[in-house]
Amino acid sequence: MNRQKAVPLAQFFVNDLHSIREYCRHLGDLHHVTTNVEATSEATSEATSEANKAAPSQVKVVETQLVMHNDASEPACFREVTLFNIKLKAASPIYMEGYQMLSQTTGTVAQPVAIGRIDEIRDYSLYQGSQGAVCGSNLFMVKEGGLWYLIGATSAFRTDIQFQLKGEELQVLWDLNGTNLDGNCSYESDYIAFISGPERSEVLAAMAKLINSHHPQRLSSRKTGWCSWYCYYADITESIVRQNLDLMVKDFPEPADLEYVQIDDGYQTAMGDWLSESNKFESGLKKLCADIKAKGRKPAIWLAPFIADGNSEVFKQHPSWFIHDANGQPVEAGNLTYGGWRCTPWYLLDMTQNEVRSRIKHVCEVMRRDYGIDYFKLDACYWGAIRGLKYRHEVTAIAHYRLGLSAIRQGAGEDAYLLGCNAPFWPSFGLVEAQRVTDDVDRTPERVRQISREFRYRAWMGETLWQNDVDCLVTRPLPGGQDLAPGFFRILLGLALTAAGPVLIGDDMARVCLTNGLVDARGSGAQLTVLDALQRKVAAPARFTGDNLDTAWLKLTTGAEWKLTFTDDDVIAEKLS
């Protein structure tokens, strides 16, 4: 592949579709096949026009669709195509998304800083051949000369965009995921946007509007409840669920304050056998869910729909349902990417098969119809969209993932609440009501600081793309285990309030602390509490400002306004009105 000369950002980022088309037109010889990649304007002029009308006057928006033409008579396979090489300035601040939940990059061009704990090259085997570059997917922002510049994918039906930052050069690639293109044929990509403006928040708002034009947000009320994982992990039992249910009813008599009982990982006999309960659930899941409803609460469930472990009945009885290697053997996830966190090895269900989609649809149908479950926490979603994996029938990783989520939606119902977790972000657009945007909560200072940074850079997604989930709200140390200073528990409360998404308590219900609130530093005596989060007293997700996005502006349903400043070990709360 011929390498293009890097173009300085200011020269490249002329917000004129004609200019972008000129850059696309001269991409050279690709894989020894004569091709032409060009940008089209006809299909995107309306979206671009609407986005520019809605954006502040200083924000410029261009959205376009790339089309690959194979002008040769022979077919060819395309993995990725270099679109642009852009020259950046070393000191410029940047932000770049990862492909999945656990990776983000900030810092500067010369000194990128990883926010998440996952290196997608080292841990997930993504971006092969990047040769020392710092890599990301689907959204890249850089600030130069007082303006924020954004390049990002605004749809994700089949393909996406990659970024490789090396030194002061940014390479933008179109990931075709091994697409075979017949001779004299064309292939249309998803959409890509070029946005600039003086305010980060305004640029991101324009980006969100374009995404919504392709993937409308699924609207739902905010959910509250209790989750079993962060106090019992996989040791959950039926009796523990019942004990916590009784305490919920006793201590939170208003059901809306603590609505759902979310049964997390540990109820099933094996990963993949979601309708087969372990012997720790003597009455069975159906009876337990009925009893939860009889006490005025609602059941919610955890699933990992794209994987199964080797001991599961679904794997033993239906090995053909799984993705196979060149030797005809089911592929272990660990041979391709991170292998999983429990009950490994994991094997990958093939959602291109009707039988597999019918099965996960059936699981969700039974849970909805027979168990009364309308809240599904979908975990390990990334394993349904592994980049570089060759799926059947020329299906890309993104299309494979969306096939699976669509089957889940059919089974769970259009009005079900789907929460994505450990998911690829862009491929999830328009398919889930809520998305986890941080790592798992852990009662350690390092993890709390990490998830605080993760959320603040993704706060713009809340109530524009989906409800932002910052994971469970924990208020106490684990007995005999992890502990935190009070300030870190206040940070977690601050995240729950500013996200204005689902709030599920992660403590044993006998140990929930309601008194460690955010007290007004101006001395009024007012405070923000756990009950404020549970009772949905926040009017909308907070707006974050500052170079490190450490200041949140929060408005309550009463009209009261607060300023929250996040530090490394606490939150400073100020009541403004």
**How many other CB atoms are found less than 10 A from the CB of residue 460?**
21
Question: pLDDT (tens digit, 9 = 90+) per residue, 465-481?
Answer: 999 999 999 999 998 88
**What is the C-alpha separation between 468 and 576, in angstroms, rounded?**
25
Average the pLDDT over 156-184 and give the result.
Answer: 92
The pLDDT tens digits for 378-387 are 999 999 999 8
Rounded Cα gap, residues 392 and 381, in angstroms = 19
pLDDT in tens, 450-462: 999 999 999 999 9
More confident residue, 54 or 427: 427
Verdict on whether the full-model pTM lies above 0.75: yes
Burial of 119 (0-12, 13-18, 19+ CB in 10 A): middle
Say what percent of the chain tops pLDDT 90. 79
Predicted pLDDT at 15: 43
- Residue pLDDT, tens place only, 222-260: 999 999 999 999 999 999 999 999 999 999 999 999 999
Tokens of residue 187, six digits: 């292939």
pLDDT at 19: 54
* pLDDT above 70: residue 13: yes
Residue keyed to tokens 């570089």: 388
Tens-place pLDDT, residues 45-94: 455 566 666 566 789 998 888 778 888 889 888 888 888 899 999 999 99
39 has a pLDDT exceeding 80: no
Instruction: Name the DSSP class of 387.
Output: T
Whole-number CA gyration radius for the chain: 24
Tell me, what's the pLDDT at 550? Answer: 98
List the Cα angle 115/120/124 in 5-degree steps: 140
Q: Mean pLDDT over residues 503-526, rounded?
A: 96
How far is 437 from 449, CA to CA, in rounded Å?
14
What is the spatial distance between Cα 179 and Cα 334, in angstroms, rounded to a whole number? 24
Q: pLDDT by residue (tens digit) across 90-115?
A: 999 999 999 999 999 999 999 999 99
